[in-house]
Amino acid sequence: MKPTAKLWLEEKKRRLNSLPVEEEIRMRKIKERLNPTTTRVSVTTGSVGTWSNPSTPVSDTASGLLSQNVALLAYIDDLEEKYYQSEKQREKHSHKLQELSEEHDLLVKEMISLMLDRHKDEILLTEKRFRDKVMLQESDARVDLAITAAHLFTQAHFVSSHQSNVIKRQVKSISQAKEFFA
């Protein structure tokens, strides 16, 4: 319990447990005899047998302060409730921000992966083109080598005329194939 609430409860308890009016009047008379400067305050109540405290400026001030304290406590309770609600909302927003951050990281990783896959595909396509070009150049070189070899064999004196005709036909078909595929 808050100290101001305790103070208010203690003041209320003290009022309820105060001395009867007759005892207070008797004590005031004794005090007046000892100290003649104090003034006498009479308390009148509407019901018989009611126990009450005398009303003094100090007790009125204390009563006013206690009522202000009660109002302030209610205001503080409202502020605490608003604070707890804002903390819950802040925590909820923080959690949502964390989720969005994780989702963002996953999307960035996925985007990087897709970009790498695209570059990989481009590299593979470039490699395939280069390989096809090299294979075409190799086949052209083989055809040229076969044609050159065929000319050499046909011009040689040790080749028979039948072999020479076969080589010429092969060279002719190879050169036609080269023109067809080029």
pLDDT digits (tens, 9 = 90+) for 1-59: 677 888 888 887 777 777 667 777 887 888 887 776 544 444 444 444 444 455 566 67
Whether the CA torsion 118, 119, 124, 129 is positive or negative: it is positive
Percent helix, percent strand, percent coil in the chain, to nearest 5: 80, 0, 20
CA atoms of 147 and 170, how far apart (whole Å): 9
pLDDT of 180 over the 70 cut: no
Specify the higher pLDDT residue, 42 or 170: 170
Q: What is the pLDDT of residue 168?
A: 66
Q: What is the pLDDT of residue 107?
A: 95
Domain range annotation of the chain? 3-42+53-110, 131-181
CA atoms of 43 and 169, how far apart (whole Å): 145
What is the pLDDT averaged over residues 145-170?
66
Which of 40-49, 72-81, 112-121, 172-181 comes out lowest in average pLDDT? 40-49
pLDDT of 122 over the 80 cut: yes
Q: What is the pLDDT of residue 128?
A: 92
| Residue 175 contacts residue 147 (beta carbons within 8 Å) | yes
Q: What is the pLDDT of residue 48?
A: 43
Residue 118, classed as helix, strand or coil, is helix
Measured CA to CA in angstroms, residue 180 lies from 139, 173, 174, 175 at distances of: 13, 10, 10, 9
Specify the higher pLDDT residue, 94 or 138: 94
pLDDT of 64 over the 70 cut: yes
